[in-house]
Structure 1
Amino acid sequence: MKTRPYGFIVLLSIFLGLNFLAPCFAATVQEIAKKLSTLPPDQRKKAIEDGARQEGQFVLYTSMSVQDNPKVMAAFEKAYPFVKTDVYRGTPRSALLKASTEARAGRYAVDIIGTAPVEMWQLKQAKLSTGYLSPELQAMPKGSYDPEGYWSAFEVTPIVVAFQTKLLKAPDIPNNYQDLLNPKYKGKMNLGTEEYDWFSVMLDAMGQDKGLAYMRALAKQDLHLPGPSSRMRVQLMLAGESAIALAARGRRVVEFKEQGAPIDFRIFDPYAGEPNSLALMARAPHPHAAILFTDYLLSQTGQAMLAEIPRLSIRKGIKQKGRLQDLFAKDFTFVNPASYGANTKQLIDQFNQIFGVRP
């Protein structure tokens, strides 16, 4: 899932106007979570289910695909038939705008938003979301959730380096990011025009100065920049446009490989992962049901269900389908909403300037 951070200044202005709405109701949601945290597991489970049964429903705004999201909702309703789900599906930006527009009008309909890193950060800054640390987070990897609970990742999009096996043979396959600066790869690589998530992870891992120096050196390799779509770039690579696709989405690469295409991939450090996360809304009208769904999706049962769809769930010990398991050979460095979200405009400007992308 790609983050679309355009309109950042407009969104930020809207959110600053929402800060006065920091509600007393938010404390009520937090109080529920605080009270639950004092209960033994069996009593906690009963309290959540009793509250959710009384509420009878919850509302989710999500950017998950129209093919997969109904499967997730159906699995949850099968597990908890006393809770009905109401879902709005859109882009990360549209889900965020819908929630913020409703809040400005004094309407608080949504309980949970499930979407991308920048939006998670903006929800927190606008005081639309609240912290919730599910007990299930103990089984989640480092960096996949906010220490204060403002976002909790439940799945990931791995970012890999893909290559065309007919154009690149074993001795010439790069082993790390530094190898990509070798002159023999000049003019043979492509990169998307909106790879801000990957760019953010690279700068965080390398440090600003070293990271920017590396990116400038990489840009001198005459990269092909055909557009924002990772899938299109991989298809162009398979057609011979380039030998290497940088920042390719791992799931699509594996799908092409399973179909017999001449493609393979390597995982380099840092291994960037784009998280899809949940945020509990501060004025959630159905807080128990929202907590129930969050716990379910992060649980062993919920994560196994996601993997079966298949989606790339991140809970430790979950077995992925087929060759998708190969994408979990190394630990992810997750896109950090706090780092990326707080510096979105700067990161976009740096990326565009270095790689010669026109906004």
Structure 2
Amino acid sequence: MRITNFRRVLAGLGVAAVTFAAAACGSGDTVDVSADDLGPSGDSSWQAVIDKAKEEGSVTYYSGQATDNLQTAASAFESAYGIKVDIVRDNDANLQTKLAAEEATGNQVADVVASAAKPWVAERLAQNYYVPVTGPAFSAPEFDADKFLRDGTIFTSSAAVLTYGWNTDRVPDGLSGYEDLLAPELAGGKIGVILPISAAIVDFYDYLNETVAPDYVAKLAAQKPRTYTGAQAIAQALTSGEIAAAAYTLPLTTEKEKGAPVDFGLASPVFGAPFLTGVTAKAPHPNAAQLFSNFLVTKAGQTAIANRAGAVLPDIETATTSADNIWTSSRTVTADDTVAFRSQFEQMFGSSQ
């Protein structure tokens, strides 16, 4: 049997302000998982990890990945192993604050952490905050460890894909690329853009200036677009017709399937935010953490977690693209860089704030 119920409306990508917590069965779905989709079975030592993980009984996953993807992955994992997944979903900044508090108090809750904040992950890796992953799926031939595994410890579990889109009622001829957002008829609040509230979104504006034109962001600001705090909010605004087009939205496949008057395009390379994922060194459930991490890079895990995103395995039907097709920034955006760009953004976009 195959995993079912993947086609749902997503609830934001890493920029929501509210923490989402749910048990594996929180969505109320029954998810069937084929043993063939769980990757290599491993040796006796890996079976011992599985047995201990089942004794631990649960695993806690901190992530900014799409809410419905997280729910489906949790349900599939519990279906396969009988182990509950507690999900804490929030943006990177809020998760970092929570994790810092856990470190300060010695009350570790997180077992596995996925973050799109590359500098933060690099700092924690240098501090031995994570331990190496040990599951057999990381050595499977279909998983490209050279591309998606760092130091045997941090792995890419998926990459959020953000792109341009439009309302087909308001823009019946569609858009052929980001350049078309500069059309005069789209000026004056008809375009949705994302506020630069994290390093990953600063990367997005770097992407536009690097791949479209060096002054593209300034020209986009001159269009006087509306600003939003999340990709899901922009997708909803497109669907309702509140805006005609967007520079930053989810791949709108599900909305189209439901009959919404929307469409989207993909540039090459596409912009995305890889979720760098690892097992914490002080994980309360270390064996379940290893098992869940291994699950994320199997066909079953990728079908769930990479829905409408970039996958780290080939031939994932629910994925929009390969995580290998995601644009790579030429710089590492720091917290100071983010603060500085937000100031620049406010100056450029002015009254559209």
Compute the TM-score of the two structures, normalised by the length of structure 1: 0.68
- Look up the match of 2:78: 77
Deviation at 1:299, TM superposition (A): 1.0
- Look up the match of 2:22: none
Query: What SS does structure 2 have at the residue aligned with 1:98?
Result: helix
Change (3 A) 1:189 1:59: closer
Aligned partners of 1:162 and 1:245 also within 8 Å: yes
Task: Report the Cα distance in structure 1 between the residues aligned to 2:352 and 2:192, rounded to whole angstroms.
Answer: 16
1:156-191 CA-partner distances (Å, limit 9, x unpaired): 432121112233243xx4323344445454444332
Aligned partners of 2:191 and 2:244 also within 8 Å: yes
Aligned partners of 1:186 and 1:223 also within 8 Å: yes
Task: Report the Cα distance in structure 1 between the residues aligned to 2:303 and 2:69, rounded to whole angstroms.
Answer: 14
The answer to whether residue 318 in structure 2 is matched with residue 317 in structure 1 is no
- Look up the match of 1:351: 345
- Look up the match of 2:116: 117
Change (3 A) 1:236 1:291: closer
Task: Report the Cα distance in structure 1 between the residues aligned to 2:298 and 2:68, rounded to whole angstroms.
Answer: 22
Deviation at 1:305, TM superposition (A): 4.7
2:221 to 202, 219, 231: 219
Change (3 A) 1:239 1:55: closer
1:95-135 CA-partner distances (Å, limit 9, x unpaired): 43332212112233432123x412x6425424373253566
Task: Report the Cα distance in structure 2 between the residues aligned to 1:315 and 1:162, rounded to whole angstroms.
Answer: 24
Query: What SS does structure 2 have at the residue aligned with 1:191?
Result: strand
Task: Report the Cα distance in structure 2 between the residues aligned to 1:268 and 1:66, rounded to whole angstroms.
Answer: 25
What number of residue pairs does the alignment pair up? 310
Task: Report the Cα distance in structure 2 between the residues aligned to 1:276 and 1:290, rounded to whole angstroms.
Answer: 16
Deviation at 1:272, TM superposition (A): 1.2
Give unpaired runs (5+ residues) of structure 1. Answer: 7-39
The one-letter code matched in structure 2 to 1:203 is D
- Look up the match of 2:268: 269
Aligned partners of 2:14 and 2:65 also within 8 Å: no
Aligned partners of 1:312 and 1:320 also within 8 Å: no
The answer to whether residue 161 in structure 2 is matched with residue 158 in structure 1 is yes
Change (3 A) 1:283 1:341: farther
- Look up the match of 1:302: 301
Deviation at 1:350, TM superposition (A): 3.5
Task: Report the Cα distance in structure 2 between the residues aligned to 1:265 and 1:287, rounded to whole angstroms.
Answer: 41
Greater helix fraction, Structure 1 or Structure 2: 1
| Alignment map for 1:246-261 (pairs within 5 Å) | 246-250=247-251, 253-261=252-260
Compute the TM-score of the two structures, normalised by the length of structure 2: 0.69
Query: What SS does structure 1 have at the residue aligned with 2:60?
Result: strand
- Look up the match of 1:25: none
Give unpaired runs (5+ residues) of structure 2. Answer: 1-11, 18-40
| Alignment map for 1:51-70 (pairs within 5 Å) | 51-52=52-53, 55=56, 57-63=58-64, 69-70=70-71
Task: Report the Cα distance in structure 2 between the residues aligned to 1:44 and 1:355, rounded to whole angstroms.
Answer: 57
Deviation at 1:304, TM superposition (A): 3.1
- Look up the match of 2:191: 189
Aligned partners of 1:201 and 1:334 also within 8 Å: no
- Look up the match of 2:332: 339
The one-letter code matched in structure 2 to 1:356 is G
- Look up the match of 1:98: 98
| Structure number, greater radius of gyration | 1
Deviation at 1:291, TM superposition (A): 1.3
